[in-house]
Amino acid sequence: AQSVTQPDIHITVSEGASLELRCNYSYGATPYLFWYVQSPGQGLQLLLKYFSGDTLVQGIKGFEAEFKRSQSSFNLRKPSVHWSDAAEYFCAVGGRGGGADGLTFGKGTHLIIQP
């Protein structure tokens, strides 16, 4: 069975500082990997995704993530955070069942931005 681990429940970062959110997955093959952001009252917004090819993927809002097969990781990074980045971040994995699979989510990381 596939699973996703986000080891950090909360992370506090100063505005302007760099950010890395960790994500490890368990899956029998190369999965589809996603990072979503959830703000209060908002639906989940896709930040970026990895399907194949270049292991460093660029997303919206200045985020990027790197797929490392050897470490089963897909960490999310941003070089300089803004106060508006405060939100809940979810890493998710999807199977390759023709896109008909639901996603398996990690427990989420709550990002707090300090002024």
Contacting range for other proteins; rule: CB under 8 A; set: 21-29, 55-63, 75-83, 97-105: 97-105
Which position among 28, 43, 53, 115 is part of the footprint of other proteins (CB under 8 A)?
43
Q: Nearest Cα to 36, choosing from 18, 14, 61, 56?
A: 61
- List Cβ neighbours of 44 (8 Å cut-off, separation of 6 or more): 36, 37, 38, 90
Query: Toward other proteins, which CB reaches closer, 82 or 96?
Result: 96
What three-state secondary structure class fits 101?
A: coil
Alpha-carbon distance 44 to 64, whole Å? 17
In the complex, the smallest distance separating the C-beta of residue 50 from other proteins, rounded to whole angstroms, is 10
Q: Which of residues 55-94 bind other proteins (CB under 8 A)?
A: 90, 94
Which position among 61, 68, 82, 107 is part of the footprint of other proteins (CB under 8 A)?
107
Which position among 16, 20, 26, 46 is part of the footprint of other proteins (CB under 8 A)?
46
Q: Distance of CA 109 to CAs 1, 88, 99, Å? A: 22, 6, 26
When asked if residue 28 is in the footprint of other proteins (CB under 8 A), the reply is no
Report how many helices (DSSP H) and strands (DSSP E) the chain contains, helices first: 0, 12
Using CB under 8 A, list all residues that contact other proteins. 32, 34, 36, 41-46, 49, 51, 90, 94-96, 99-108
